[in-house]
Chain A
Amino acid sequence: MTASVDFLEILVTSATVVATIAPVVLIALWVIDARNGRLW
């Protein structure tokens, strides 16, 4: 069974979108923690 081009596109695009969001999530969490004095 061969993966279709759609399968490949959905797999890779969704992974890349999540990975693109990931650093934004990390920085947002940092800002929230820093504001609440809970970084450390």
Chain B
Amino acid sequence: MDEVQTAILDPAIGWAILAAFSVLWVAIGWWFGREQQDLDGFMLAGRRVGLALGVATAMATWVTSNTTMAAPQLALQLGIWGMIGYSLGAVGLILFAPLARRIRALMPGGFTSGDFVRARYGTTAWRVFLGISLFYALGWLISMGTAGGVLIHALTGIEYRFGMTVIVGICVAYTLLGGLRAVIGTDFIQTVIILVGVVVLAWLAIDRVGFERMHAATLAERPALLDLLFPAAIMFLFNNLLFGIGEIFHSNVWWSRAFAFREGVGLPAYLIAGLLWIPVPIVAGFVALTVPALGLNVPSADMVGPMVAAHLLGQGGAILVFIVVFAALASSLDSLLAATSDLVVTDLYKGHLKRDATSEDLARAARWIVLGLGLLTWALCLPRVATLAALLHFTGAFVASTIWPIAAGLYWRKASSSGAALAMVLGTIGGLIAYRTIGFYVAALVSAAISMAVVLLMTRLRPDAFDWTTLSATADPAHPESARPNGVPS
């Protein structure tokens, strides 16, 4: 059905909130990023991000509109395991914590995940990795832009293309003005807003409905939601776990933060962010279990969160959810925009097109690329083709294939270069076949299993003897011209 039928806020209120928060994000982004003009400053916030901002940016980026809107939807469809499965997305953040420390130690002057794959595994694996990474990043950008337009339309009735244009435009504006510092600075405030919003709604739902009533009504009307052996939900749990690990291990969103954090911050920042993130999908999701008790008729599963909020809090609840969703959208879209632009600047522009580019050239190019990516995202979002759920299911096969090459490459000297490239290719193919022949819930699982087998087998057959110092030499901050986004293999 058309979401406008479910709109729970007046469009005028929607526009007022959009305008107020747009001005706020751009002003804050400009303020935080006003002194960051060189390449390190624009792309990596000067590499001095502290623990508070580190924790907040990791949390905010991982709390997407999907977490706030689809967690209740999953609870309504898959019950308790849907919420718990979603919260296992935090495992990726927690497992990345030691990797972040190692990445910073091995490559103190590194810029992107592509830098590492190129230096560790060589050109072939680098290009395969770039293909996967850019495909995923662009897909995620489109799905976030689309989700922005759809959610704003669903909540307020504002036309899809206007809502989408606002969310993409605002994120491009403050990322352009302040680079990663603007992204991280706004992430802190967005995280606090998101957490306060979901917590207020959760305590209200507990207070007004209560667990006895919630449980009894759910058991009477939708007992499967309380079934702890719900097969589809258990499969979703494992698939989501692997998807989350694959996404975080490979994506430059997380690597760029590992490079940007102050020395010693990466491990605690990702660890704390993961631990604090675990409850978020449960808190955001369980409100769906109040639906039977409240007797709500939910016309579209993804609107369950706002509908419960509006029922419990009236218009104030709907406004609260709208602000939370807007913050969640912006916090993920800006991070993705900045990190993808880094990858394009470093690995495509410098790596393939203009190998003699200076730092000044790259700093200029970075801004044009943020703008270009924003325009591309906007243009691709206009037809409204992708949904976040569809993308997440489909790309599980791609991202899960990178888990073992990344993890083995960071810790295992013998991990094979040819094995890494082959593992990503065969893992992706296998995952896609499973996606087509079995179902979305096994794509990441099959991809990761094949990738692991190939990495192990090829390392046995054709082991490397990698010298870790190669990584720091490739990205040595003391020698900027060899360290900065060049290092293209001869």
> Contact residues of A with B, CB < 8 Å?
1-5, 8-9, 11-16, 18-20, 22-23, 25-27, 29-30, 32-34, 38-40
Contact = CB atoms under 8 A, between A and B. Distances in A.
B191 A3 contact: no
Nearest to A13: B206
Contact of B227 (A2, A22, A23): A2
Given A19-B198, A38-B262, A26 B52 contact: yes
Interface of B: 45-46, 48-53, 55-56, 59, 80, 84, 87, 181, 188, 191-192, 195-196, 198-199, 202-203, 206, 211-212, 214-216, 219, 223, 226-229, 262, 272, 276, 278-280, 282-283, 286, 289
A1 B228 contact: yes
B275 to A, nearest CB: 8
Main DSSP-derived SS at the B contact region: helix
Main DSSP-derived SS at the A contact region: helix
A3 B225 CA distance: 9
Contacts of A30: 52-53, 188
Nearest to A37: B50
B56 A26 contact: yes
Given A11-B80, A12-B202, A16-B206, 19 more contacts: A1-B228, A2-B223, A3-B80, A3-B227, A12-B206, A14-B279, A15-B278, A15-B283, A16-B203, A18-B278, A19-B276, A22-B59, A22-B276, A26-B55, A34-B52, A38-B262, A39-B52, A40-B48, A40-B50
A38 B268 CA distance: 15
Which of A8, A14, A40 is most buried by chain B, counting CB atoms within 10 A of its CB?
A40
Contacts of A1: 227-229
Contact of A19 (B53, B227, B280): B280
Contacts of B211: 5, 8-9, 12
Which of B50, B226, B282 is most buried by chain A, counting CB atoms within 10 A of its CB?
B50
Contact of A2 (B48, B181, B226): B226
Top 10 closest pairs, chain A to chain B, by CB = A15-B279, A29-B52, A15-B282, A30-B52, A5-B215, A33-B50, A9-B211, A38-B50, A22-B276, A18-B279
A5 to B, nearest CB: 4
Contacts of B226: 2-3, 8
B215 A8 contact: yes
A26 B188 contact: yes
Given A3-B228, A14-B279, A33 B52 contact: yes
A16 B272 CA distance: 16
B293 to A, nearest CB: 12
A29 B49 CA distance: 13
A29 B206 CA distance: 29
Nearest to A39: B50
27 contacts: A1-B229, A2-B219, A3-B80, A5-B212, A8-B80, A8-B214, A8-B226, A8-B286, A11-B80, A11-B84, A12-B206, A12-B211, A12-B282, A12-B283, A12-B286, A15-B282, A19-B199, A19-B202, A19-B276, A20-B199, A22-B279, A23-B192, A26-B59, A33-B53, A38-B50, A39-B52, A40-B45
A38 B282 contact: no
